[in-house]
Amino acid sequence: MRSYAAQRAVLAIVQLAVLSVLVFVLTTLLPGDAAEMRFTETLAPEQVERMRAQLGLDQPALERFTQWLGNVLTGDLGTSLISGGPVTDIVRNSVGATVVLTLATLAVVVPLAVALGIVMGTRENGRLDRAITSVTLALSAIPDFVIAVLLVAVFSLKLGWLPATWIGGDLLASPVLLVLPVAVLFGRTVCLLSRQVRAGTITALQAEYVVQARRLGVPRRRLLVRHVLPNAAVPGVQELARTGDTLLGGVLVVEAIFAIPGFATALVDGVETRDVPVVQGLTLVLAVAALVINLGADLLCNRLVPRTELLR
């Protein structure tokens, strides 16, 4: 187990290094640089030139990258080319909203998806199974922004029950701000997650040990909780790790629609203003988070159902 984790950690470092190079190269390939992005027809080209020199953007790309890498290795994510403040500040200021949003979504979607998955799995191809499948499939098929616009139109603008945006809102004072964004993200993730649990349940129910346990007269509830669920959970947990990625894509849309000042908003901002250190810093943090989540999911699966081949 320990050597497996170590192996994964080494792989993770290689992945991060490759990712950093990729992100740097791709952002550098975008037309324009941070100095030009300040060119809003208010700054004369001559001023832009001076700014470029001041920001060090006239240095060769390789030099800029090695400098950045050197800083990162000493724990310094660098300085934003646009705001002039430390990148860590931008990470810190934007991560909160996204984490709260993600955790709130998971808190809703995980129990519900597991419950739905088990209900569907134990009634394979029954009427209820098909009904739940249709609804969750429809939710995942409709684009987020459509769901979001519909929800806002009905619950905010027409009925006036829920706030339409986070503008001027304070999450601590009004947690109700979370309702609509979480509802949209729920629609995006519930289908896949519940289908994985459903599949796991069906497989587990057909497994010999379950059939045997049933023959031996193990009560249904005990059978489900003690024997079926841990096995059914494996694809679910792995899917959950992938849900993280899916959520991030959805968070971007949701953050834009509800004006949530989160991670995705900061990232889009960084790309649009060619603020390379910010883009680099944010993707690095994001990649580390994704790696940790995936690693955690693998290790958790191993605990749920120990698989010897992984332990070698």
Q: Kindly list the residues in this chain that would bind other proteins in the complex (CB under 8 A).
A: 30-32, 36-48, 50-51, 54, 80, 82-83, 90, 93, 145, 149-150, 152-154, 156-160, 163-165, 167-169, 256-259, 261, 265-266, 269-270, 272-275, 278
In the bound state with other proteins, the residue whose beta carbon lies nearer, of 202 and 271, is 271
Closest C-alpha among 223, 156, 158 to residue 184: 156
| Beta carbon of residue 80, minimum distance to other proteins (angstroms, whole number) | 6
**Which C-beta is closer to other proteins: that of 60 or that of 168?**
168
Q: What is the nearest approach in angstroms of other proteins to the Cβ of residue 77?
A: 14
Whose CA is closest to 180, among 140, 151, 142, 153? Answer: 151
- Nearest approach in angstroms of CB 51 to other proteins is 4
Q: How far is the CB of 149 from other proteins (least distance, A)?
A: 5
Closest CA to 88 of 310, 282, 306: 282
CB-based burial, 47-67: b 16+ in 10 Å, e otherwise: ebeebbeebebeeeeeebbee
Closer of 1 and 167 to other proteins (Cβ): 167
Q: What is the CB neighbour count within 10 angstroms for residue 269?
A: 17
Backbone angles phi, psi at 32, to 5 degrees: 85, 165
Task: Compute the least distance from the CB of residue 152 to other proteins, in Å.
Answer: 6
13-40 exposure pattern, b = at least 16 Cβ within 10 A, e = fewer: eeebeebbeebbeebeeeeebbbbebee
Nearer to other proteins, 116 or 284 (CB): 284
User: Which residue number, 121 or 187, has a Cβ lying nearer to other proteins?
Assistant: 187
